[in-house]
Amino acid sequence: MKRIYLSLITAIALIGSVYADRLVIKGSDTLGAKLVPQLAEQFKAGHSGTTFDIAAEGSTTGIAAIIDGTAQIGMSSRRAKSSEVGAASAKGINMKPTVVAYDGIGVIVNANNPIKSLTKKQVEQIFTGDIADWSAVGGSGGKISIYTRNTSSGTYSEFKELAMKKRDYASGSQKMAGNEQIAAEVGKNPAGIGYVGMAYTKAGGVKVVSIDGAVPSVKSVQDHSYPYWRPTFYYTNGDPSGLAKEFLDFTLSSAGQKIVAQVGFVPIK
Amino acid sequence: MFKRVIYFMAAASFILGGVAAQAQDAGALLDLLVRKKLISDQEAEEVRSELTKQFTETPAGKWKMSTPITELEIYGDARLRYEYRGGETAGNVSQPNDWLERSRERYRLRIGLRGTLADDWFFGVRLETSQSNRSTNVTFGDDTSTTSGSTTTINGPFAKNSDGINVGQAYLGYKGFRDITLTGGKMPNPLVTTLMVWDADINPEGVAEQWKHTFTLNFGQSGLAQAEQSYSKDNKALAISKPASEPWSLKIDVFANFAQFVYDNTNPDNPVGPQKTTDGRLNPRIDAWMMAWQVGARFNFPKNYYFQVAPVLYNYAGNGDTFNVHFVGGDPSLSNSASLATNQSGINSLLFLEVPAEFGFKIGELPVRIFSDFAVNFNADDRARAAGFPDEGDQRYAFMIGAGIGQLKAKGDWQIQAWYQYTDQYAVDPNLVDSDIWDSRVNMKGVAVTGGYAISDAVIFNLTWGYAWRVDKRLGTGGTGDIGINPLDDYQIFQADLNVRF
């Protein structure tokens, strides 16, 4: 009997030590596709034995993971909704946001599209379907093809809030799994338009249009003069501790923020 | 420490600003503080997160509203009423000069939800007690038993058989065109009218188109008039600055209301077998529609004087399957029960004009209004002939005139209104006239007085009294009322109401 107890205690200790060096991060594709994996690689260089489990399936999944306790850090490209905060609060979870980087959501069109700039009103009209032909905004004509993120994406809802007065997307819009897919589709389709995080605006075959004369840049996002800027977050259950705190501190450090800039996001300082 | 001050300020705006507006107010404040570099984005996010958490713990925070809703209002009222109404038979019928009296304790409840949606759409829903089209009242203790055929079921005291909840209003509309409101569904009456023609509880079904435009005429010292125009989608006039030298201005609200109401749907339109007949006549297979065309203007003079007139022409198309029998409206030569059994609701030969008008001013802060209405049925000759009284075609007019003083907007307010009302037998639609004043009847004339006092901003006590006589002694008093007498020679009503509005 004693042996059984001893084996159990040993197993629990082993599992605990393994979990202690493993960081589970879930959430935003915007953050999780490039930025966080590169931060993780750099972090591991100074923390041998640390492993990361990163799942980038949209901000909604990251916030849900904090609420149900299946991740230590939830990546999000939007603020938690009041319904999510309420659900967390009911379970005794304290959703704590930490701003880790800024992002500008760039509106992209095919590189061959003559359009160079749009107004905020035109962007709203295009993505809601009020305007369906490029000729209505000074283009060379043809039906506009709209590419958006899927509904679990933080960028999907953030763009509705920033650019569309919370109205619904046009019924014919095509929903893509990530920024790269949107950039790829717009790059192939001369009539395409979409939006991507700043890190993806330099994809081949696309170009960024200015919005009311402003383009997404480090300066315009940091001084908030570009209209479609947004903070991006790590969500934790209260103040982070242990490995999660170390990784968060690393992200906010000058070394971490240097990676933020290298990947195409805007550092917070 | 500074963050605590910011948090306190944001929380104060959160609480003092009202639950609905707080998130935006606090968010705007935080954005401003970030732009001024007084706090960092991180500090703003922490405060915002804490406020969101607090908001979700409030009752309002537990409500979730769909994105297209831009504004939502819950409203309604509850009323307790004591009512007496009585009617006297004529002197030449069985049981002559006998009074039938009803004394009832009643309540009503109306709960509504109305709001605006994105892109200039709007909607409204209202739930009401009572299935009646002209009443929302439920009578206490009237459902202790129910009878179906020869079987009587005892429901017991305080039964709930009468206490139903019904959809009183369900409509949607669009205000996207300048000056125009389009509405469809079961809607609040879009017409300017009075109790002489329309019971206030009726919510007609169909579609309505409304247009309203405000003209402002400024009369300067030179004597030349300048015309200015304003408009507003929500029908609220926009303020227009005027030169200080101008002595006065005239603002004119010109409006037009058009309505197409489905009065009675015939179903099926093409039944199997031969077409049904009533009294040897083929029953029509077409729906009955009520059409209304109204144009009007309200002249707003300086010093709170105004005058409004809004003529409206009504016409009926089709007969439906409920109102397709010719109106008779009772017959004094028959027994009371036989007279009641004649048709009281036919809508044949109704093409009538109504002209409601109102003149108002203020004595000090006290509003005074003089109001009137006039109606004439151009097809009264045909209606009288079909009723079996070909010599009574001149019974085509209805009118009312009255005055009111005071208002019931806030605690301590009071109001008194009195009017005289006269309605010929063939003047207006007996299915629409007010169900209280003159017991849903036509061929009646009399006086009514109402008085109200606002006990609080939300609670109003009202008294109503009315007395009426038959107009033409050769005719019945048409219409389906609560008093089982036709002709109704004399009629009296008294109501005491305690209203709670929210």
Please state which of the four CATH numbers 3.30.300.30, 2.40.160.10, 3.60.40.10, 3.40.50.1980 is assigned to the domain occupying B69-501. 2.40.160.10
Complex ipTM: 0.76
Helix, strand, coil % in chain B, rounded to nearest 5 = 15, 45, 40
Contact B49 A85 (CB under 8 A): yes
- The two tokens of residue B281 are 């006549």
Question: Comparing B200 with A6, which gets the higher pLDDT?
Answer: B200
* Closest-approach residue (CA) in chain B for A88: B53
pLDDT tens-place string over residues A118-139: 999 999 999 999 999 999 998 8
Query: Phi first, then psi: what are they for B274, rounded to 5°?
Result: -70, 155
Residues of B in contact with A166 (CB under 8 A): 67, 118
Cα–Cα dist B258/B263, whole Å: 15
Q: Where in chain B is the domain with CATH 2.40.160.10?
A: 69-501
The count of domains in chain A is 2
How wide is the angle at C-alpha B491 spanned by C-alphas B487 and B497, nearest 5°?
A: 140
Confidence of residue B59 (pLDDT cuts 50, 70, 90): confident
* Closest-approach residue (CA) in chain B for A83: B56
Instruction: Say how many CA atoms lie within 13 Å of B120 toward its Cβ.
Output: 13
This model's pTM is above 0.95: no
Q: Does A29 reside within a domain? A: yes
Strands A51-56 and B277-278: unpaired
Contact A79 B118 (CB under 8 A): no
pLDDT tens-place string over residues A84-121: 998 898 889 999 999 999 989 999 999 999 999 999 99
Amino acid at A160: K
* Closest-approach residue (CA) in chain B for A80: B49
Q: What integer pLDDT is reported at residue B102 of this predicted model?
A: 96
Question: Max CA-CA distance within chain A?
Answer: 82
Q: Of B73, B68, B98, whose CA–CA distance to B20 is shortest? A: B73
Contact B56 A86 (CB under 8 A): yes
Q: What integer pLDDT is reported at residue B230 of this predicted model?
A: 42
Mean pLDDT computed over every residue of chain B: 88
**In terms of domains, do A217 and A162 share one?**
yes
**In terms of domains, do A60 and A115 share one?**
no
Q: Which domain holds residue A115?
A: 104-222
Q: Does A157 reside within a domain? A: yes
**In terms of domains, do A112 and A197 share one?**
yes
Q: Does A196 reside within a domain? A: yes
Q: Of B364, B363, B443, B434, whose CA–CA distance to B403 is shortest? A: B363
pLDDT tens-place string over residues A184-218: 999 999 999 999 988 888 889 999 999 999 999 99
pLDDT tens-place string over residues A67-76: 999 999 999 9
Contact B53 A97 (CB under 8 A): no
pLDDT tens-place string over residues B118-144: 888 999 999 999 999 999 999 999 999
**In terms of domains, do A90 and A56 share one?**
yes
**In terms of domains, do A17 and A119 share one?**
no
pLDDT over 80 (residue A16): no
Strand (E) or helix (H) holding B27? helix B22-35
Cα–Cα dist B392/B381, whole Å: 7
Strand (E) or helix (H) holding B312? strand B312-317
**In terms of domains, do A142 and A191 share one?**
yes
Question: Comparing B159 with A158, which gets the higher pLDDT?
Answer: B159
pLDDT tens-place string over residues B337-368: 999 999 999 999 999 999 999 999 999 989 99
Q: In the A/B pair of chains, how many CB contacts fall below 8 A?
A: 55
What CATH number is attached to the domain comprising A235?
3.40.190.10
pLDDT tens-place string over residues B222-234: 444 444 444 444 4
Residues of A in contact with B48 (CB under 8 A): 79
Q: Which residues contact B21 (CB under 8 A, 6 or more apart)?
A: none
Residues of A in contact with B46 (CB under 8 A): 96-97
The distance of B16 to chain A (nearest Cα, Å) reads: 20
**In terms of domains, do A93 and A52 share one?**
yes
**In terms of domains, do A30 and A84 share one?**
yes
Confidence of residue A15 (pLDDT cuts 50, 70, 90): very low
Amino acid at B346: G
**In terms of domains, do A205 and A128 share one?**
yes
Residues of B in contact with A232 (CB under 8 A): none
Q: What integer pLDDT is reported at residue B128 of this predicted model?
A: 97
* Closest-approach residue (CA) in chain A for B57: A86
pLDDT tens-place string over residues B235-285: 444 444 444 455 678 999 999 999 999 999 988 877 788 877 777 777 777
pLDDT over 90 (residue B62): no
Of B49, B64, B68, which is closest to A97 when you measure between CB atoms? B49
| B interface residues, A as partner, C-beta within 8 Å | 23, 34-35, 41-42, 45-46, 48-49, 52-53, 55-57, 61-62, 64, 67-68, 118-119
Contact A79 B56 (CB under 8 A): no
Q: Does A268 reside within a domain? A: no
Q: Of B171, B175, B181, whose CA–CA distance to B211 is shortest? A: B181
Q: Which residue has the tokens 């489990």?
A: A53
Q: Does A141 reside within a domain? A: yes
Residues of A in contact with B52 (CB under 8 A): 79-80, 82, 85
CB atoms within 10 A of CB B283: 15
Residues of B in contact with A98 (CB under 8 A): 42, 45
Strands B69-88 and B99-117: antiparallel
**In terms of domains, do A133 and A52 share one?**
no
Q: Does A124 reside within a domain? A: yes
Contact B118 A165 (CB under 8 A): yes
Q: What integer pLDDT is reported at residue B33 of this predicted model?
A: 87
Contact A85 B46 (CB under 8 A): no
